[in-house]
Amino acid sequence: MESNGISEQKIVTGDFGYILQDVPHLTDYIPDLPTYSNPLQDNPAYSVVKQYFVHVDDSVPEKIVVHKDSPRGIHFRRAGPRQKIYFEPDEVRACIVTCGGLCPGLNTVIREIVYSLYHMYGVTRVLGIDGGYRGFYARNTIPLTPKVVNDIHKRGGTILGTSRGGHDTSKIVHSIQDRGINQVYIIGGDGTQKGASVIFEEVRRRGLKVVVAGIPKTIDNDIPVIDRSFGFDTAVEEAQRAINAAHVEAESVENGIGLVKLMGRYSGFIAMYATLASRDVDCCLIPESPFYLDGKGGLYEYIEKQLKENGHMVIVIAEGAGQELLSESMQQDASGNKLLQDVGLWISQGIKDYFSKQKKMTINLKYIDPTYMIRAVPGNASDNVYCTLLAQSVVHGAMAGYTGYTSGLVNGRQTYIPFYRINEKQHKVVITDRMWARLLSSTNQPSFISNKEVFEDRKEHISGEKKNEETQLLDDENCADVVPEN
């Protein structure tokens, strides 16, 4: 099961092209582990539920839009409680760590992992790792009980603290061993899940009975495979307040322009969904859709047209949009992520200069940058429910001995996804997809794509040069094949 120190993918095939991309299990490398009955069968809340335990063969398809002769395709293991578990409650020493940027709902996930362990499985030893990955070896731990975490879901941020950088695999796994930890719950974004995968490989190499499980977190919604990440809904909702303010300001003055910059380093989902939700936005600019300023079909021409027709306009720009137009200089954060130039300030100045110098026209531009306000808030109701299901699912999987997985929602069902699927791509807005077309038709902005480019793209689709395009099931295709260099 091992090549080059990296465990091989577990693939199960079945009839009619069925493929299960399975997750590792402790018994893959520690044979003859004892099993125990799941205490949930005696829990009055659950014992009345018909078929509470998930059938061992239950799986969830990755693609639900199919043609009549499509193969059954890729599936993931369905999450949920199993009849047999691989840990006695007394034996469990769990830990939870949060890494990367903040995201609404982090505290809810922490709370619900603690509650699930205590109240569903009778586990009483849960530690919080202080301050992200480096906290494993550089900081103290925080004992977590239901009492400690009782009302943390009402607060934004993470009670455990977080950080970027500082992933030292060897030191982290030493610390896990030293503390006798046997379940590691890792909450974080794309970088964090890569880190979790490396920890899993090292744990496995050392032959430890330690589950390593991830919970995907990112307001950018840039993690592939899953329907959406927790906190995204809240961030989009919060962004409405900035867009509303921009609209009120813009329509109150002559030639008013409200410009809102939203987060989204490589993926423009927040900007796209905030625009679709608002209906007041006349132009949305995202990293995936290159744009240009001057000349026919450019941004300035469109702004001028909007001002002439409506007297005001609202522009939403994702922080990663148009970076190629700004300076080449590139700095990185502690995790190696690209530190972006402020495209909002840059474009504000550009618009002001264009109208005052070239058009001799007075405009009134208000720039709103809500930045951290959309992610430092607590999760909304829908995200809180989502976080609860994610937390319960990840705990059920760990108690059942699965490891090396990320818990995630796929087509509305909780699943266990192997790390390699979470880490192989970056979820991005595909501008030739229907969702972006819906946005363009709602804002009426130019697509900034020339007819020639669209024609070339179509030609490639028809000739099959573009991967997977024969089926034209475009709604499932919004992933970049290659993760961009940080």
Ligand X SMILES: Nc1ncnc2c1ncn2[C@@H]1O[C@H](COP(=O)(O)OP(=O)(O)OP(=O)(O)O)[C@@H](O)[C@H]1O
Instruction: Tell me which residues touch ligand F6P (CB under 6 A).
Output: 101, 164, 189, 218-220, 263-265, 319, 333, 375
Q: What is the DSSP letter of 402?
A: B
**Nearer to ligand F6P by C-beta: 176 or 259?**
259
Q: Which of residues 324-353 bind ligand X (CB under 6 A)?
A: 335, 337
Residue indicated by tokens 């909304």: 380
Any known ligand binding at 165? yes
Q: What binding mask, one character per residue, do residues 167-186 give for ligand X by CB under 6 A, x or -? A: x-------------------
Q: Applying CB under 6 A, does 195 fall inside the site for ligand X? A: yes
3-state SS, residue 169: helix
- The answer on whether 374 is annotated among ligand-binding residues is yes
- Return the number of the residue (189 or 322) whose C-beta is nearest ligand X: 189
Rule CB under 6 A: which of 89-108 touch ligand X?
99-101
Say if CB 83 and CB 94 are below 8 A apart. Answer: no
Tell me the pairing of strands 331-332 and 338-339.
Answer: antiparallel
Asked if residues 292 and 324 have their Cβ atoms less than 8 Å apart, the reply is no
The DSSP string of 429-460 is --TTSHHHHHHHHHH-------HHHHHHHHHH
Torsion angle of the four alpha carbons 387, 40, 406, 133, in this order, in degrees rounded to the nearest 10: 80
Among 19, 142, 148, 198, contact with ligand X (rule: CB under 6 A)? 198
What is the token pair recorded at 96? 């939870």
Which residue's entry shows tokens 């047209």?
A: 305
* Total residues binding ligand X (CB under 6 A): 22
- Identify what 263 binds: Mg ion, ligand F6P, ligand X, none; CB under 5 to 8 Å per kind: ligand F6P
Q: Is 403 annotated as a binding residue?
A: no
Choose among 215, 323, 221: nearest CA to 274: 221
The residue within the footprint of ligand X, chosen from 166, 231, 256, 268 (CB under 6 A), is 166
User: What does the per-residue mask of binding to Mg ion show for 184-223, with x meaning CB under 5 A?
Assistant: -----xxx--------------------------------
Partner whose binding site includes residue 99, from Mg ion, ligand X, ligand F6P, none (CB under 5 to 8 Å by kind): ligand X
Q: Which is nearer to ligand X, 167 or 413 (CB)?
A: 167
Cβ–Cβ < 8 Å for 103, 49: no
Least distance in angstroms from the C-beta of 132 to ligand F6P? 11
Q: Which of 130, 220, 222, 233 is catalytic?
A: 220
CB-based contacts of 462, cutoff 8 Å, min separation 6: none
Q: Per the structure block, which two tokens stand in for 321?
A: 């949009």
Q: What's the closest the beta carbon of residue 199 comes to Mg ion, in angstroms?
A: 17
Helix, strand, or coil (residue 189) = coil
By the 10 Å C-beta count (0-12 exposed, 13-18 middle, 19+ buried), 63 is classed as middle
- For the question of residue 233 being annotated catalytic, the response is no
Residue 190 annotated as lining a ligand binding site? yes
Footprint on residues 119-148 left by ligand X (CB under 6 A): 132-133
Among 165, 298, 350, 446, binds ligand X (CB under 6 A): 165
DSSP 379: P
Contact 212, 200 (CB under 8 A): yes
15 labelled ligand-binding: no
Sorted by sequence, the CB contacts under 8 Å of residue 196 that are 6+ apart come out as 184, 186, 188, 212, 213, 214, 406, 419
464 appears as a binding residue in the annotation: no
What, of ligand X, Mg ion, ligand F6P, none, does residue 264 touch, CB below 5 to 8 Å by kind?
Answer: ligand F6P
101 labelled binding-site residue: yes
Q: Are 326 and 343 in contact (CB under 8 A)?
A: yes
- The DSSP H or E segment spanning 213 is strand 211-216
Is 82 assigned to a binding site? no
- Which residues are catalytically annotated? 220
Annotated binding-site members for ATP: 101, 164-165, 189-192
Which positions touch ligand X (CB under 6 A)?
Answer: 99-101, 132-133, 163-167, 188-192, 194-195, 198, 218, 220, 335, 337
Annotated binding-site members: 101, 164-165, 189-192, 218-220, 263-265, 319, 372-375
Annotated binding-site members for Mg(2+): 190
Annotated binding-site members for substrate: 218-220, 263-265, 319, 372-375
